[in-house]
Amino acid sequence: MCGAAKLLRLLQGCNSMDRLRKIHAQVLLQGYHGHPAVSAKLLSFCATSAAGDLAYARLLFSGILRPATDHWNALIRGSSLSPAPLDAVSLYNAMMRRASSRPDAFTFSFLLKACCLAKADPKCREAHASIVRSGLSSHVIVGTNLVRAYADNGSIDEARRVFDEIPDKDLVAWNSMISCFCHAGLHEDALKVYDRMRQSGVGLDEFTAVGLLSSCAHLGALGFGVRICKFAEENGFLRRNVFVGNALIDMYAKCGRLDQARRVFDGMRRRDNFTWNSMIIGLGIHGHADKAISLFQRMLMAGVQPNSVSFLGLLTACSHHGLVDDGLKYFQRMGSAYNIKPDLKHYGCMVDMYGRAGKLDEALEFIHSSPFKDDPVLWRMLLSASRIHGSVEMGEIAIQNLIEMSANNAGDCVLLSDIYEHAGDSQGVARMRKMVKDQGIKTTPGWSWIEIHGEVRKFVVGDTSHAESEEIYKKLEEMISRAASLGYATERSAEWLENFVDSTTDYHSEMLAIALGLLRTPKGTSLRIVKNLRVCKDCHSLTKYASRIYDREIVVRDRVRFHHFKEGICSCNDYW
């Protein structure tokens, strides 16, 4: 045993295959090649170490007469991490044909890892059946890995079912389900899982906090995010984990609270590249170009190297503030000073910048000179700018290119329809409507979220699914009546943006969310709404009146930008 113990110590300190081969030679010379622990350690290094050799591991494995579970696990794990992860499945099947060993929780964990990496949903389901037969379906480690495997293969409902069946969920299990929902874009579900987690008595850690803050940022769930922030501060997460601080900055910025984002930023002891970028982007999307540029200069003085995301934040800021010359300067400096190649998003910012400034000819020329001239994103930017400036010619050029790419959607047709209407071209409006209906162009369903007393409420166009629907519609009708007395008039052109709304009673989702907010929050409380589509002109106009009538600040984050409505004025200056 003394010899085996010495060999195990040598293997513990092994860091290369050259060293491993020498130790292996000693193992053979001393007759320990059949020793279970020694052979398992040899195999584990070769199969799973970054300095290992999977082919050598297979050679070692072939010399073991009666492989134990540890031997199989080492080779299955190594294969799951190889360029051919499904080899792990073949090994598992071979293991099941041998009577010398049976799979354990680790076997299935490595097998499920292979299914994740290979994106093999059928194999995942086969593994699930084997887990049930083995009696390990209630094992928390196996169940957690099965949740991840199903989620990574796109079977989120199966992942949810497996998670619900785990009897004693630990922190890792809860974190996995929250993470799966976040990656699937099911942010409301992620927050609901956290509520269940809290009720079960399981505490929050840094990993959970980062995932939850990401969901809060997507939903604009400021109240929920503030709760996470308070917990993070009380438990020292901010002091020791830069990722939590970064997530908080992102959450506050996307929830419209730049002051709080800046407070977190200024209080962080350590900042990485993502920290600076998050704050610069936050300032940029809110139109604070001067502050974004100033912070970028501070970043350089601090010795932090900017990356493509840093410049994206700068260009966004310059675009929203109309700083064309500054934007062009930074765009050119990306390559000349930092050797950063601009991508589609940077080119999109430049087209948007030219368009916002009314330089439509320059925007068109920039598209033609870009390496992304065949991407619909740039033409959509030009179309949006054409609507703002009422250019029929540019609008038609943009949509013609989108049609040639087979990339036009209902939203594009609405934008050109608006241009036609303001130009007095009723035939153009009719053509756009006909194109959408005849070609079956798909619309993106419009959704809006508002957080009320810690609960995220979701609305669709003409929504009547809420318990307060009758109250909501009465409040909305009151709002419209009071706005009309001050000069508001419905802009009918906007009414077919969401799902071909034709009835004046089928109100858009953000207006229903605003009405609920007025009903369920105290006077003077700010309302914060997130919408997945661009706010239409009619809703934009009505929201301005609502902020004045009810003396509320109303913050709407749509697909394009932030709108801060206060006293009848919007921060976008009616340009979005």
Whole-angstrom distance, CA of residue 179 vs CA of residue 165: 18
Q: pLDDT at position 399, please?
A: 94
Whole-angstrom distance, CA of residue 419 vs CA of residue 452: 37
The DSSP secondary structure of 213-254, one letter per residue, reads HHHHHHHT-HHHHHHHHHHHHHTTHHHH-HHHHHHHHHHHHH
Q: pLDDT at position 492, please?
A: 54
Whole-angstrom distance, CA of residue 393 vs CA of residue 395: 5
> For the stretch 423-446, what's the b/e string if a residue is b when 16 or more beta carbons lie within 10 angstroms of its beta carbon?
eeeeebbeebbebbeeeeeebeeb
Which of these, 491, 501, 386, lies nearest to 436 by C-alpha position?
A: 501
**Sign of the torsion formed by the C-alpha atoms of 448, 450, 456 and 460:** negative
Q: For the chain, which residues score pLDDT lower than 70?
A: 1-2, 491-505
The answer to whether the beta carbons of residues 244 and 211 sit under 8 Å apart is no
Whole-angstrom distance, CA of residue 408 vs CA of residue 432: 11
Which of these, 358, 351, 279, 265, lies nearest to 315 by C-alpha position?
A: 351
Backbone angles phi, psi at 244, to 5 degrees: -65, -45
Q: pLDDT at position 446, please?
A: 84
**Sole residue written with tokens 């020292």:** 236
Q: pLDDT at position 160, please?
A: 96
